[in-house]
Amino acid sequence: MEKDIIKRSIKVSLIVAVIFTPFLYLYIGSAFTYGFMAGAAWNIVNVFLLFHLVTNLITPVASNKGFGVIAGVIKFPIIYGLGYAVITYTNVSLYGILAGFSLILIIFALKALGIFYTNVIGLNSRRYGRST
């Protein structure tokens, strides 16, 4: 898997979360919307830090090991502690948190399906026919 697909999925997740926010607030309510945004932000930051943790610490090539350690220190105690605090001490919808948390996973699945079908159908060959 390329590194680029994870970076693009993070960007698409941010865009989709921002686009969904006003509609969720208008049609479902504030508690669900706050939960959705908290879950989406939590998982986007989680995937970002996991990406940097893995690419900087578990690669055979030379990389920035310090940034990988910092990502691990931020990811495990701080991000999970903030998630626990949001779930325990705020009045957000748990269903909203689950929906937001699964947003980037749905985008990963859709991107993988798109890549699979592009390769199966053969759209990546860029053959458009003959011009004569």
What pLDDT, on the 0 to 100 scale, is given for residue 129?
47
Q: Which residue has the higher pLDDT, 38 or 5?
A: 38
What pLDDT, on the 0 to 100 scale, is given for residue 125?
54
Identify residue 105 by its one-letter amino acid code: L
- Alpha helices by DSSP H, listed for 2-131, are 3-27, 30-57, 65-73, 80-89, 94-101, 103-121
State the number of CA atoms in the 13 A half-sphere of 43 facing the CB. Answer: 25
Q: How far is CA 23 from the centre of its chain?
A: 20
Q: How far is CA 3 from the centre of its chain?
A: 13
User: How would residue 30 be classed by pLDDT, with cut points 50, 70 and 90?
Assistant: very high
pLDDT higher than threshold 90 for residue 118: no
Q: Return the closest-CA partner of residue 19 out of 107, 111, 108.
A: 107
What pLDDT, on the 0 to 100 scale, is given for residue 128?
45
Portion of the chain with pLDDT greater than 70, in percent: 90
Q: With 0-12 CB in 10 A as exposed, 13-18 as middle and 19+ as buried, what is 53?
A: buried
Distance CA 61, CA 74 (A): 23
Question: Each residue of 52-90: pLDDT tens digit?
Answer: 888 888 877 778 888 888 988 998 899 999 999 999 999
What pLDDT, on the 0 to 100 scale, is given for residue 76?
87
Question: Each residue of 44-53: pLDDT tens digit?
Answer: 999 999 998 8
The full set of domain ranges for the chain reads 3-125
Cα angle for residues 85, 68, 11 (degrees, 5° grid) = 70
